Every structure is written in C-alpha cells, then in structure tokens.
Amino acid sequence: MEWLGCPRELRQSLVHHAANVGGLLGDQLVGLYVHGSVARGCSNPTTSDVDVIAVLAGPCMDEIARALAGIHRVSDLPLDAVFVKQCQLLHDVEPTPIEFVIKPMGSREPRLRGEEHSYFLLDRQDAYECSIALAGVRFSEFALPLPWHLVVDRLEELLPHIVPKFKNPTLMLCRIAYSLAHGTLCSKRDAGLWALEGLGGTWRPLIQKALDRYARGVAEDADATEALIGLERHCREVLMKMRGSGSG
C-alpha cells in the first residue's frame, strides 16, 4: 500500500472506514480502492472528494446498500463511492453497468439501484493506473486497462461539460490536454504544473492562478473567460487532429 503524500489523519480515517465497510460486507467485499487525488498524493483537505471504488463478489441487497449509506453518512470523509460487482469491470462500454453510487453531498443514500455510470470507465482507468488498496489485492491484479481509444472517447464526451459544471475547470482541461499528450491520466495538480510549460503562452496566467487557488483550497473562479474558452478550444483541436490521424 502506497500512501504518497496522504496526511496521517486522512489515512487513519480511510483505514477506519475500510474496516467498517469490510465488517458489514464480509466475504462479499472483493476489494476497496481509493483513487484520484488522494492516491496520487495531491488532495486538498478543503476541496477534494475522496474517490472510492468498492468491488463486490455479487449483487448487493437493498438493506445492505442502505447500511453502507449509513456508514458514509456518519463518516467525516467526503466520500464519492462507486459500488460495482467484479464481473461488471469486464464491461468496456459507456455508460457502464454498476450496482450503485453514494455521493458526498445530500443525503448520501445509494442512488439509482442497478444504474449505469456515465464516466465509470475513467474512474476504472484511474484506479488501474494509481490506487490505494484499502482491502483486497491491487486493483490492477484483476482489472484490465482500457484500450486507450476508449479513454479518448470518454474525454471527448466529457469535454463540453468541463467549463459549465466542474469546480476546477482550468485544471480539468489541463488534465485532458496532458492525457492526450501522454496517453495516461494524472492529477489536476500535476497536469497544471505540466501545462505551465507544455502549454504556457496565453494560458500561463490562467493556469498559474488555478494552481494557486487549488493549493489554498479556494474554489476556482469558473467564469467562462476568453482564456478558459481558448484552452477548451485547444483541447478540441487536439482531439480533432487525433481523430484525423487515426491515433485516437
């Protein structure tokens, strides 16, 4: 288990949470994995969700799902958790069939039993590349990496929603640009640091401001500025070039 720069208190809370989930699910729990900024060692305690994938051996009964929601409700962690059967990890389709999700906002009740998750393939790839196993073997030992063209497809579908809906649109666009350039995912912070040099130019002040605010735990000013729209346009142009060359 590699915790990188994960703060000690967060680590202890996650271990405690994993023990509660494991105690409830027993042998039904195949593995519990933290991915995203926590696993990559650059989470911000005031703004970052804790992204979790729970892998189950089989279907989850309604009463167990409600009990899991209760565990999330009393947790001090902003958990954004996806519960998925191990066999569902074999579906390279979007949207992906899952069991349910429990979000960090609202009532934290399990949402849409038997739903399909619009962007779970990106979560799955992120966990494959970098995750902490709170229970079970490494995620990469039983989950397969996605064909990269499917990751690119998901990024293309996600792109129109970045500016109007995401709380860190500049750094999210940097993540897309980084992924298209390197063929792998990374954290928002690392993507922003790369973009200062890799993109730079017109967008440097925008990216630096976004990085500074992210480091301080301050929500980004998400107004659709000319620079932000220009960065989104750049990502679209890169995608079009990849489509034209057949490299996507």
Predicted TM-score (pTM) of the model is 0.91
Per-residue pLDDT of the chain (248 residues; tens, 9 = 90+): 567 777 888 889 999 999 999 999 999 999 999 999 999 988 877 778 899 999 999 999 889 998 998 898 888 888 899 999 999 998 898 889 999 988 876 555 555 455 788 889 999 999 999 999 999 999 999 899 999 999 999 999 999 999 988 888 999 999 999 999 999 999 999 999 999 999 978 899 999 999 999 888 887 766 778 889 999 999 999 999 887 776 55
Four-residue CA torsion sign, 124, 212, 168, 105 = positive
The predicted pLDDT at position 48 comes to: 82
The predicted pLDDT at position 166 comes to: 86
The predicted pLDDT at position 111 comes to: 59
DSSP-based three-state secondary structure for 33? strand
Contact 162, 137 (CB under 8 A): no
- How many C-beta atoms lie closer than 10 Å to residue 41's C-beta? 16
Between the alpha carbon of residue 21 and those of residues 17, 52, 105, 158, the distances in Å are 6, 12, 19, 31
Give the residue range(s) of CATH 3.30.460.10 domains in the chain: 8-141
Q: How many Å apart are CA 127 and CA 185, to the nearest integer?
A: 10
CATH-assigned architecture of domain 8-141: 2-Layer Sandwich (3.30)
The predicted pLDDT at position 248 comes to: 52
The predicted pLDDT at position 128 comes to: 96
Backbone φ/ψ region at 7: left (φ over 0), alpha (ψ -120 to 50), beta: beta
The predicted pLDDT at position 196 comes to: 95
The predicted pLDDT at position 81 comes to: 93
